[in-house]
């Protein structure tokens, strides 16, 4: 069975087979999610926000151990662990690099506004 995946903030829609991990589905759709651990749940770089968490498999023991119940309750999941079971929407988190650049640009703008 194929499922539809909507990726935010871009709004790109892709399709993948049910039970595919979010990380593999992203790669199939040419969506970039950082990862260094080859799906072993050790780098935590692939953290995403599941807008519809009920459309993913239950959190794995590794996710419970690494993220904790409070983070999981917010809909945050590891893309390398969460598997898609129905049409879903995934919000990608800004990378630390993007956040740092945005802060630097804002500071630069604030300096020039004075």
Number of domains the chain is built from: 1
Q: Identify any residues that bridge with 84 across adjacent strands, giving them in sequence order.
A: 56
Provide the pLDDT for residue 107: 80
pLDDT in tens, the chain (114 residues): 899 999 999 999 999 999 999 999 999 999 999 999 988 998 899 999 999 999 999 999 999 999 999 999 999 999 999 999 999 999 998 776 666 777 777 887 777 665
Per-residue tokens: 99: 């956040």
DSSP 27-71: HHTT-----SSTTSS-S-TTEEEESSGGGBPPPPHHHHHHHHHHH
Structural domain harbouring 45: 2-113
Q: Is the pTM of this model over 0.75?
A: yes
CA atoms within 13 A of residue 33's CA, in its CB half-sphere: 30
Provide the pLDDT for residue 114: 57
Provide the pLDDT for residue 109: 73
The enclosing domain of 93 has a CATH number of 3.10.20.30
Burial of 14 (0-12, 13-18, 19+ CB in 10 A): middle
């Amino acid at each position: 069975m194929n499922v539809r995946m909507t990726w935010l903030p871009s709004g790109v829609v892709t399709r993948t087979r049910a039970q595919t991990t979010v990380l593999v589905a992203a790669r199939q759709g040419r969506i970039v999610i950082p990862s260094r651990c080859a799906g072993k749940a050790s780098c935590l770089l692939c953290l995403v926000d599941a807008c519809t968490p009920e459309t993913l498999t239950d959190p794995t023991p590794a996710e419970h151990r690494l993220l904790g119940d409070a983070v999981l309750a917010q809909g945050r999941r590891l893309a390398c662990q969460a598997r898609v079971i129905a049409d879903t929407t995934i919000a990608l988190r800004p990378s630390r690099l993007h956040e740092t650049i945005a802060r630097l640009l804002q500071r630069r703008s604030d300096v020039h506004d004075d």
